[in-house]
């Protein structure tokens, strides 16, 4: 068990980002100083100034070397967009990335290993919007993922190129990279919009001196090296992705989120606890399933940027990498052991045991020798068991493939027959239509025959050439009919071959024969229809005679096929005889094998006799099972020739195996002659062997019964051949009936010649009429072109006027909007000034009240001082009068100001109402203009679709009306615009008046404020 190796690589920063970066790196840990919880430790952390070679040598180099030794390996780069993943994996011309370094290192390791021979294959795919595309074969798109016991998880239809040098690999990778989806975002000019997986498949086997035999008997190591460049996670708010880019980003984020979920589940140990890990939620995780908690050495290179703007993305990338640290894999050497490799290993073990037996014969006791001998026999039996299982598995696989291929061939045959049947029906319909048309023409010709009998001979002499043309057309129709008939005959031949080759699908073949009988009935109906066509064609007699010759040739072909079937039946009989001979030879071999076993049992000791007996019983049980399997296989093999040959080969291999086994047992018997045993146990074992021999004889009898059943099937096939002969005789009878019908058609041909001459005369008259019509059509077309030119010019003028009005409308609306904005600003400013004036008046009023209070106080003080002097009293009276006059003046000014403000407000409201009415009128005019324009567009379409002069005149009148309406609306629009300008001018005059009034009020308020200040001074002086 080994965990995933995780390293972190930081992208270089600018000087400003380096100063403000919130992340700190210390040795192999990265953290935020202000957050104690945000601290991560990894296997390696590479700073901004590191090289890609250092990243490669940290772990990827060891994974590549292990891949050459037979271990699976996966390396992939993870991180946000614009963090340097593609640069890490692919590199640049000056600094190669992980993929080029791995390719060169792999080939160097292979060149150094001279003890093994290698075969390298490469593939390159991308996952774009959850679709798998082959970058080495761009036409292979939307590939599917499959899984089986042999290949595991693989992509069906993916091209694998055999490579022999690093340069070839890199050239193929450049070719695939040119077809990868790359786009531009706000964060990256060349942003990867898909995940890519670069895969190297490494096969190797041991070299031997005997090149011819040794290579075929050694185990083959097969390992897979995946180098993955993931697309970066991104946020639409930062990348500015829209449309296609937004869709690509959503698919990328979805697959990366699934990858994060899988890593989280694996780090929590969900899979070990029997839980569900969602590998199938994304095609990326489905393909990388063996690398995530499976049989592979895996390394993750997490690319980050320490810029403060991307702190959240860096945090999520580091959390993903820290979870991946807790995922463990169990990598082992991937060997494919063939049956030859297993036999070779077992033979080596047997030879080692025999050598030990020979060397230790003089030094060890008899019991140790017997133990060694028992282990030797067990290893041989295990070897035989493995060989039998492998052979049976191969045969079962071959049978499955053969059944699937035969089913596919039958489906193709059925589809082909249905297609040909459809074509035949279409041709039949065409011929029926032609017959119907010919009958109508003949009826018309017969009606006109009475009035034109005198001109028949003359026209017949003049139009003989046209008759020749008609006869050639008839010959073409006849040839098409012959081709159709030949296609039907080919269908029948294909069906006969299908009946011979696919006898196991008898129900489907029976249905198909019914279908063919229906097609033959349709064929007969087509022939009858064709006979009606022959009633008015003279040259058809020769074509029917040719058809008769073809049918005779087909009958001869059928007879030759019947002879071939008879020969094949004879071959099957000979093969059955050979099988019976082989069974007898196998029986004799088994008897000899039993005798050898009896001799072996006689020589065995009492201690090992029971064990040998059990092993021999197991061996005979296996032989029984094998005989049952051969019985079932023989039943299947007798159905077609290929299965029979395969069973024959398996029987020969079985004979060879039995001979080799008997030879080995004879050697063991020669070595074990010195040992003695008990005769009673020997007799018991001999009886059990005889019983098993009787069972084998019963099995052989059953095999003979199966052979007899197969002979009955051959007899049934012969009966089918006789039915085919009967069908050929029926075809001969049909040919004779066709010839009789042709003789009847000759009598009607002469009448049709007269009809043809009349039709030729009609054609001449119709040709003159056609010329006159063509001249009229040309004149109409010229008039139509002139009208189209006029219409085009008028449409261009209308388009220009439309553009001018649209520009004027835009300018007016913009000016009105600007003026409305200015009016709103002015109204706000005036309202602020009015509120300020009110506040100032209120403050003046309060000051007047305070002055009045002070005056009252001074009067009270004067009364308490007993009327000090007359001058003071007079002064106080004067000040009081002045104060009252100031109050009156302020009240009057306030009333005047209020009245001015009210008038300005009413005038402003009127101006706003006038602008609203003008705006509504302008909207109405624009809507009316839009309706007129839409009406003009409709008229354009109607004008284009019309082809008559009256429609053109009506359109011109309608255009003139629309022009008048447009001019009227233009005049109204001008009047509205003039009224709008007047209203704007009036509002400007009112604004100026309002500003002047407000300025006067301010001046009055300032003068009153000065008077109040003077009064305050006088009061203060008088109080003193």
* Helix ranges restricted to H, 604-678: 606-637, 641-671
CA–CA dist 36, 428 (Å, integer): 88
Q: Between the ranges 33-47, 377-391, 555-569, 809-823, where is the mean pLDDT highest?
A: 33-47
Q: What is the pLDDT of residues 324-373, one digit of tens each?
A: 888 888 888 888 766 666 667 667 777 777 776 666 554 445 555 566 66
Does the pLDDT of residue 85 top 60, yes or no?
A: yes
Q: Between 845 and 207, whose confidence is greater?
A: 207
Rounded mean pLDDT, 413-422: 58
Does the pLDDT of residue 966 top 50, yes or no?
A: yes
State how far the alpha carbon of 900 is from the alpha carbons of 822, 836, 997, 1000, in Å: 22, 15, 7, 11
* Cβ-based burial of 1 (10 A; exposed 0-12, middle 13-18, buried ≥19): exposed
Does the pLDDT of residue 894 top 50, yes or no?
A: yes
**β 328-329/220-229 pair status:** unpaired
To the question of whether residue 212 is assigned a binding role by annotation, the answer is no
Does the pLDDT of residue 779 top 70, yes or no?
A: yes
Rounded mean pLDDT, 306-325: 88
To the question of whether residue 82 is assigned a binding role by annotation, the answer is yes
Across all residues in the chain, what is the average pLDDT? 71
Q: Between the ranges 300-314, 352-366, 642-656, 924-938, where is the mean pLDDT highest?
A: 300-314
Rounded mean pLDDT, 984-1005: 72
To the question of whether residue 81 is assigned a binding role by annotation, the answer is yes
State how far the alpha carbon of 768 is from the alpha carbons of 294, 445, 456, 462, 759, in Å: 88, 20, 21, 18, 15
Report the SS3 class of residue 240: coil
Residue written as tokens 């963090």? Answer: 83
Residue 29, φ and ψ in degrees, nearest 5: -130, 150
Annotated domain spans of the chain: 2-336, 402-571, 572-747, 867-1023
% of the chain exceeding 90 in pLDDT: 12
Q: Which residues pair with 192 in a beta bridge?
A: 182
Q: Which residues contact 388 (CB under 8 A, 6 or more apart)?
A: 622, 626
Does the pLDDT of residue 441 top 80, yes or no?
A: no
CA–CA dist 813, 922 (Å, integer): 9
Judged by average pLDDT, the poorest of 214-228, 603-617, 717-731 is 603-617
Predicted pLDDT of residue 954: 55
Q: Which residues contact 845 (CB under 8 A, 6 or more apart)?
A: 890
Q: What is the pLDDT of residues 650-688, one digit of tens each?
A: 656 665 665 665 566 556 555 555 454 555 566 666 566
CATH no. for 2-336: 3.40.850.10
CA–CA dist 352, 329 (Å, integer): 36
**β 220-229/73-79 pair status:** parallel
Rounded mean pLDDT, 96-118: 92
Predicted pLDDT of residue 587: 64
H-helix or E-strand containing 202? strand 195-206
Q: What is the pLDDT of residues 195-243, one digit of tens each?
A: 999 999 999 988 765 444 444 446 788 999 999 999 877 776 666 666 7
State how far the alpha carbon of 787 is from the alpha carbons of 343, 792, 938, 940, 945, in Å: 94, 8, 18, 13, 13
Q: What is the pLDDT of residues 584-605, one digit of tens each?
A: 676 666 666 666 665 665 555 4
Predicted pLDDT of residue 275: 79
% of the chain exceeding 70 in pLDDT: 42
**Residues 647, 648, 653, 656, CA torsion sign:** positive
Q: Between 13 and 528, whose confidence is greater?
A: 13
The separation between CA 946 and the C-alpha centre of its own chain, rounded to angstroms, equals: 47
Does the pLDDT of residue 97 top 90, yes or no?
A: yes
H-helix or E-strand containing 162? strand 161-163
CA–CA dist 37, 156 (Å, integer): 46
To the question of whether residue 84 is assigned a binding role by annotation, the answer is yes
Where does the pLDDT of residue 520 fall: very low under 50, low under 70, confident under 90, or very high at 90 and above?
low
To the question of whether residue 736 is assigned a binding role by annotation, the answer is no
Predicted pLDDT of residue 470: 47
H-helix or E-strand containing 112? helix 98-112
Q: Which residues pair with 10 in a beta bridge?
A: 304
Residue 181, φ and ψ in degrees, nearest 5: -80, 115
Report the SS3 class of residue 338: coil
To the question of whether residue 864 is assigned a binding role by annotation, the answer is no
Q: Between 533 and 567, whose confidence is greater?
A: 567
To the question of whether residue 79 is assigned a binding role by annotation, the answer is yes
CA–CA dist 253, 238 (Å, integer): 14
Where does the pLDDT of residue 460 fall: very low under 50, low under 70, confident under 90, or very high at 90 and above?
very low
């Amino acid at each position: 068990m080994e965990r995933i190796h995780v390293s972190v690589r930081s992208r270089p920063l600018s000087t400003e980002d380096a100063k403000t970066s919130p992340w700190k790196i210390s040795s192999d840990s990265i953290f935020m100083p202000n957050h104690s919880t945000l601290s991560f430790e990894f296997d390696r952390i590479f700073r901004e100034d590191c090289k890609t070679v250092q990243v490669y040598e940290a772990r990827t180099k060891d994974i590549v070397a292990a891949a050459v030794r037979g271990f699976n390996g996966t390396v992939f780069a993870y991180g946000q967009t614009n963090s340097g993943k593609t640069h890490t994996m692919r590199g640049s011309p000056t600094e190669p990335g992980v993929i080029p370094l791995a390719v060169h290192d792999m080939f160097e390791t292979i060149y150094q290993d001279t003890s093994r021979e290698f075969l390298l294959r490469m593939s390159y795919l991308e996952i774009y919007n959850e679709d798998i595309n082959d970058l080495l074969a761009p036409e292979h798109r939307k590939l599917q993922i499959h899984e089986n016991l042999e290949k595991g998880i693989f992509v069906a239809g993916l091209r694998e190129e055999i490579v022999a040098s690093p340069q070839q690999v890199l050239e193929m990778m450049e070719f695939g990279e040119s077809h990868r989806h790359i786009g531009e975002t706000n964060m990256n000019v060349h942003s990867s919009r898909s995940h890519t997986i670069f895969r190297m498949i490494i096969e190797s086997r041991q070299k031997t001196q005997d090149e011819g035999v040794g290579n075929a008997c050694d185990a083959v190591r097969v390992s897979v090296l995946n180098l993955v460049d993931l697309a970066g996670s991104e946020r639409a708010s930062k990348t500015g992705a829209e449309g296609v880019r937004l869709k690509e980003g959503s698919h990328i984020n979805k697959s990366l989120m699934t990858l994060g979920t899988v890593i989280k589940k694996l780090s929590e140990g969900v899979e070990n606890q029997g839980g569900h890990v969602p590998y199938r939620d994304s095609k990326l995780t489905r393909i990388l399933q063996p690398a995530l908690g499976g049989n592979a050495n895996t390394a993750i290179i997490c690319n980050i940027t320490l810029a403060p703007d991307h702190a959240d993305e860096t945090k999520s990338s580091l959390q993903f990498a820290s979870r991946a640290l807790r995922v463990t894999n169990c990598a082992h050497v991937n060997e494919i052991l063939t049956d030859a490799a297993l036999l070779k290993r077992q033979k080596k073990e047997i030879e080692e045991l025999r050598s030990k037996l020979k060397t230790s014969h003089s030094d060890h006791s008899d019991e140790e020798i017997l133990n060694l001998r028992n282990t030797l026999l067990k290893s041989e039996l295990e070897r035989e068991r493995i060989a039998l299982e492998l052979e049976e598995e191969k045969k079962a696989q071959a049978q499955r493939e053969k059944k699937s291929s035969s089913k596919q061939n039958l489906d193709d045959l059925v589809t082909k027959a249905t297609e040909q049947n459809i074509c035949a029906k279409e041709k039949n319909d065409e011929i029926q239509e032609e017959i119907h048309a010919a009958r109508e023409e003949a009826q018309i010709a017969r009606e006109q025959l009475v009035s034109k009998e005198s001109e028949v001979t003359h026209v017949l002499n003049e139009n003989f050439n046209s008759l020749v043309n008609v006869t050639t057309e008839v010959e073409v129709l006849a040839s098409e009919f012959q081709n159709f008939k030949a296609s039907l005959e080919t269908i029948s031949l294909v069906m006969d071959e299908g009946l011979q080759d696919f006898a196991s699908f008898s129900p489907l073949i029976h249905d198909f024969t019914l279908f063919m009988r229906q097609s033959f009935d349709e064929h007969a109906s087509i022939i009858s229809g064709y006979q009606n066509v022959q009633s008015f064609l003279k040259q058809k007699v020769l074509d029917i005679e040719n058809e008769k010759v073809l049918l005779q040739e087909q009958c001869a072909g059928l007879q030759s096929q019947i002879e071939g079937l008879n020969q094949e039946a004879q071959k099957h009989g000979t093969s059955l005889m050979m099988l019976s001979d082989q069974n007898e030879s196998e029986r004799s071999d088994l008897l000899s094998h039993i005798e050898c076993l009896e001799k072996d049992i006689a020589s065995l000791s009492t201690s090992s006799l029971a064990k040998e007996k059990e092993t021999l019983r197991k061996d005979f049980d296996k032989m029984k099972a094998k005989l049952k399997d051969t019985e079932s296989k023989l039943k299947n093999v007798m159905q077609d020739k290929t299965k029979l040959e395969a069973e024959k080969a398996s029987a020969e291999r079985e004979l060879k195996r039995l001979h080799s086994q008997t030879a080995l047992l004879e050697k063991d018997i020669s070595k074990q002659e010195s040992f003695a045993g008990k005769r009673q146990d020997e007799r018991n074992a001999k009886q059990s062997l005889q019983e098993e021999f009787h069972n084998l004889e019963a099995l052989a009898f059953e095999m003979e019964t199966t052979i007899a059943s197969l002979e009955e099937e051959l007899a049934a096939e012969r009966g089918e051949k006789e039915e085919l002969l009967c069908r050929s005789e029926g075809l001969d009878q049909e040919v004779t009936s066709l010839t009789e019908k042709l003789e009847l058609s000759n009598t009607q041909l002469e009448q049709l010649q007269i009809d043809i001459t009349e039709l030729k005369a009609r054609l001449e008259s119709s040709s003159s009429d056609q010329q006159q019509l063509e001249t009229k059509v040309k004149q109409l077309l010229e008039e139509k072109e002139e009208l189209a030119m006029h219409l085009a010019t008028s449409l261009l003028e209308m388009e220009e006027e439309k553009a001018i009005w649209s520009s004027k409308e835009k300018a007016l609306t913009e000016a009105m909007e600007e003026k409305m904005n200015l009016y709103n600003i002015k109204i706000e400013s005036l309202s602020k000034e009015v509120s300020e004036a009110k506040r100032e008046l209120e403050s003046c009023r309060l000051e007047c009240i305070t002055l009045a209070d002070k005056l009252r106080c001074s009067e009270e003080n004067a009364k308490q001082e007993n009327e000090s002097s007359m001058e003071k009293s007079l002064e106080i009276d004067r000040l009081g009068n002045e104060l009252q006059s100031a109050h009156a003046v302020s009240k009057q000014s306030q009333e005047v100001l209020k009245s001015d403000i009210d008038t300005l407000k009413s005038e402003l409201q009127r101006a706003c109402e006038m602008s609203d009415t003008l705006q509504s009128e302008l909207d109405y005019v624009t809507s009316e203009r839009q309706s007129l324009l839409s009406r003009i567009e409709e008229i354009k379409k109607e004008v284009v679709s019309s082809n008559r002069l009256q429609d053109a005149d009506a359109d011109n009148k309608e255009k003139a009306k629309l022009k008048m309406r447009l001019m009227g609306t233009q005049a109204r629009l001008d009047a509205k615009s003039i009224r709008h300008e007047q209203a704007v001018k009036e509002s400007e005059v009112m604004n100026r008046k309002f500003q002047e009034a407000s300025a006067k009020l301010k001046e009055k308020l300032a003068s009153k404020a000065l008077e109040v200040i003077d009064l305050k001074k006088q009061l203060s002086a008088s109080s003193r």
